[in-house]
């Protein structure tokens, strides 16, 4: 990298904030050139060289054959709340699936789970994350991130699935959605990202209050989500879940680099 500090592309969703809090507010504030975008855009920035490290969808890290920074990322074990699949017809009859244009890992996860659980492999069409519009054009719709958090599934006139819960039911393992990755990782990358996360972890109540106000989400939902649904540490069980995900993804995308 030619810059004195890495250009870091982070995801703009709520679940990323604890990971980058140190780079926003703490000791790591001047250690990286930090910017925010959608998960799919993080992947494109790594591909075109406009970022050095990104919080990359794990499917894109495999597609681009990029090494990951050990230690931190975005994962869950059981319900995740922010990856929701809705259908207006029986699950086994889905032929057309509207997917959030910002998603990569979750689109592949949806394809895996629809095939493994319901035996269907629908056509996918990318759309903006607006549930009524998506279901006007398709049989089923995938919402991720903050768009999913703003929807109350139990109040919708559609059947829904939390894909973190379905993955855990299928495999008994955690699901990893994103990790810090890049083509040429500096030796101090683990210290940078671990330090930023630990700074955020120690200030989680502050983050919850700040982000609930900023994003217009109920505090109770933000607290439950960041404290109980999202895992920020990528340990041996998370890596086992990631391996299982990539193996299943490769059965749908044989060119995938494993």
Mind listing the pLDDT tens digit for each residue in 34-62?
999 999 899 899 999 999 999 999 999 99
Q: Given a cut of 80, is residue 2 above it in pLDDT?
A: no
The pLDDT assigned to 254 comes to 85
The pLDDT assigned to 3 comes to 54
Distance CA 218, CA 235 (A): 30
The pLDDT assigned to 257 comes to 57
Q: Given a cut of 90, is residue 92 above it in pLDDT?
A: yes
Tokens read off for 99: 């997917």
Angle, helices 163-171 vs 236-252, to 10°: value is: 90
Q: Where are the beta strands (DSSP E) in 19-107?
A: 33-37, 53-57, 68-76, 83-87, 96-100
**pTM beyond 0.75:** yes
9-14 average pLDDT score: 96
The pLDDT assigned to 102 comes to 85
Strands 7-11 and 33-37: parallel
Work out the mean pLDDT of the chain and round it to a whole number: 95
91-109 average pLDDT score: 95
């Amino acid at each position: 990298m030619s810059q004195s500090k890495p250009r870091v592309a982070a995801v703009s969703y709520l679940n990323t904030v604890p990971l980058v809090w140190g780079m926003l507010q703490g000791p790591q504030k001047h250690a990286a050139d930090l910017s925010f975008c959608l998960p799919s855009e993080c992947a494109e920035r790594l591909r075109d060289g406009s970022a050095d490290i990104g919080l990359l969808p794990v499917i894109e890290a495999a597609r681009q054959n990029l090494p990951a920074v050990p230690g931190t990322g975005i994962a869950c074990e059981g319900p995740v709340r922010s990856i929701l699949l809705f259908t207006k017809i029986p699950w086994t009859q889905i032929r057309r699936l509207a997917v959030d244009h910002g998603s990569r890992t979750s689109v592949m996860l949806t394809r895996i789970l629809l095939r493994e659980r319901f035996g269907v492999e629908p056509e996918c069409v990318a759309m903006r994350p607006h549930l009524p519009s998506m279901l006007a054009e398709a049989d089923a719709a995938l919402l991720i991130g903050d768009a999913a958090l703003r929807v109350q599934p139990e109040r919708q006139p559609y059947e829904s699935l939390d894909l973190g819960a379905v993955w855990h039911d299928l495999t008994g393992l955690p699901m990893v959605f994103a990790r810090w990755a890049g083509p040429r990782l500096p030796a101090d990358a683990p210290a940078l990202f671990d330090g930023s996360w630990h700074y955020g972890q120690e200030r989680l109540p502050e983050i919850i209050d700040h982000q609930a106000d900023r994003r217009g989400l109920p505090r109770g939902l933000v607290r439950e989500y960041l404290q109980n649904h999202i895992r920020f540490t990528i340990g041996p069980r998370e890596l086992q879940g990631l391996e299982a995900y990539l193996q299943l993804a490769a059965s749908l995308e044989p060119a995938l680099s494993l």
